Chain A
């Protein structure tokens, strides 16, 4: 495995022949994707849909959402690798919304995202949502 390499394609054709290797997974990516990067893309997309759904159900559909997901792979005690964290950051442009309501809906959007429920078997999922125009982390 240390010297091997692979290529990844999607059935829909949305992406194809993406190269990957052990080095691109656990060291520097050098332009190559990795399973964890694909999971980050999956989680960000899943969460964006779930948050859009929660906001719409509350009568306040978003104009715009920016969602970042960062998935962390780490070596654990026995030397094996484990996906230990997925951190979700959302910035929302929503009319008539306060920070407290957004936080509540953002948390329930994570619970409603099927991928959050799954990955919690291995990883800690954190959610931080802010309204556009606010300072990050408030």
Chain B
């Protein structure tokens, strides 16, 4: 079954001095988020940006794929803590994504965890959509 998710944004003025707002999304989970070029390309000043949203999407997608892979391998995770850092170079685009995951997975070796994380990084739908990013790094380790 296909799933559609929609977001609505309004913008006023030109790129450099104008500003916008992410008004709403299908689920209602976020809304009223201000965005502007300066916050995107220089100092965030508590404002989100397309790249921060991509980071959130990638971290969430990767975590789901890894959780599924671990469960299928007979080692369901108690907890996965994932961060994704997206680097935006104005004029060039997204140049790098750094994924970091710390897992609490009973009975699993470090090597097997790294392998499962690598597979999740290759196969999650957001990774596939972002396959054109020049560098996607992964740091995966077990905790405890």
Contacts and interface: CB of A to CB of B under 8 A. Distances in A.
B48 A26 contact: no
Interface of B: 1-16, 18, 20, 22, 25-30, 33, 35, 37, 40, 44-61, 63-64, 67-68, 71, 80, 88, 92-94, 123, 125-126, 128-133
B5 A29 contact: yes
A42 B13 contact: no
A108 interface: no
A39 B129 contact: yes
Interface of A: 1, 4, 6, 8-15, 18-20, 22, 24-27, 29-53, 55-56, 61-75, 80-84, 114-115, 117-123
A39 B126 contact: yes
A62 B10 CA distance: 11
B50 A74 contact: no
Contacts of A11: 44, 52, 55
B15 A56 contact: yes
A41 B4 contact: no
Given A10-B56, A38-B53, A41-B50, 20 more contacts: A12-B49, A14-B46, A14-B52, A15-B33, A27-B3, A36-B5, A36-B57, A39-B126, A40-B5, A45-B9, A48-B9, A52-B15, A53-B14, A71-B6, A83-B129, A114-B92, A118-B133, A121-B129, A121-B132, A122-B125
Contact of B22 (A32, A45, A72): A45
- Interface of chain B: mostly helix, strand, loop or mixed: mixed
Contact of A8 (B9, B10, B11, B56): B56
A1 B71 contact: yes
A68 B3 CA distance: 16
B46 A13 contact: yes
A12 B123 CA distance: 28
Given A1-B67, A52-B18, A39 B27 contact: no
Nearest to A60: B14
Contacts of A51: 11
Given A6-B63, A70-B6, A115-B50, A42 B14 contact: no
Contacts of B47: 12, 14
Contacts of B11: 48-49, 51-52, 62, 64-65, 67
